[in-house]
Copies of this chain bind each other. A is one copy, B any other.
Amino acid sequence: MKENVNITLIINPGSGVPIYRQIVEQVTRQVLSSRLKEGMIMPSVRSVASEFQINPMTVSKAYNLLEERNILERVRGVGMRILKKEDNRGDNSEKLNMIRPSIKEIVIAAGQLKISKQELKNEIDKSWEINNG
């Protein structure tokens, strides 16, 4: 009955961003973008911990946060089941909500720096080419 899942995590312990938050963010993105689908069972705390050489309790902390956000569901004795559906409301509102705070920060910073909106968009084009091209 196990629907195991191949999850791709990129953990960078020296990035300054706490490991548990890296897990939370990446799992959330993958759920919202349908790479992880409802009903799938997440890899176990211990397997993630050993794969990335981190402590099981750190993974557990991340899973716990994901449960609080109604993205995972704890199934006793089984594991964590993916609970939340992808963002199918047509307007992508849920996915957009994830990046809006960061967008606001950049827009304010650009304004204070007297960087024009067009310049900002040009930079995004360049970065998109490099990172998503």
A residues contacting B by CB (< 8 A) are 25-26, 29-30, 32-34, 92, 95-96, 98-100, 102-115, 117, 119-121, 123-125, 127-128, 131-132
Q: Is the CB of B132 within 8 A of A111?
A: yes
Instruction: Specify how many copies of this chain sit in the oligomer.
Output: 2
Q: How far is the CA of A131 from the CA of B102 in the complex (A)?
A: 13
Main secondary structure of the interface of A (DSSP, over half): helix
> Would you give 29 A-B contacts (Cβ < 8 Å), ordered by A?
A25-B109, A29-B113, A30-B112, A32-B113, A33-B113, A34-B114, A92-B119, A95-B114, A96-B119, A98-B109, A98-B113, A99-B110, A102-B105, A102-B109, A103-B106, A103-B120, A103-B124, A106-B124, A107-B124, A107-B127, A107-B131, A108-B131, A108-B132, A110-B132, A111-B132, A117-B124, A121-B121, A121-B124, A124-B124
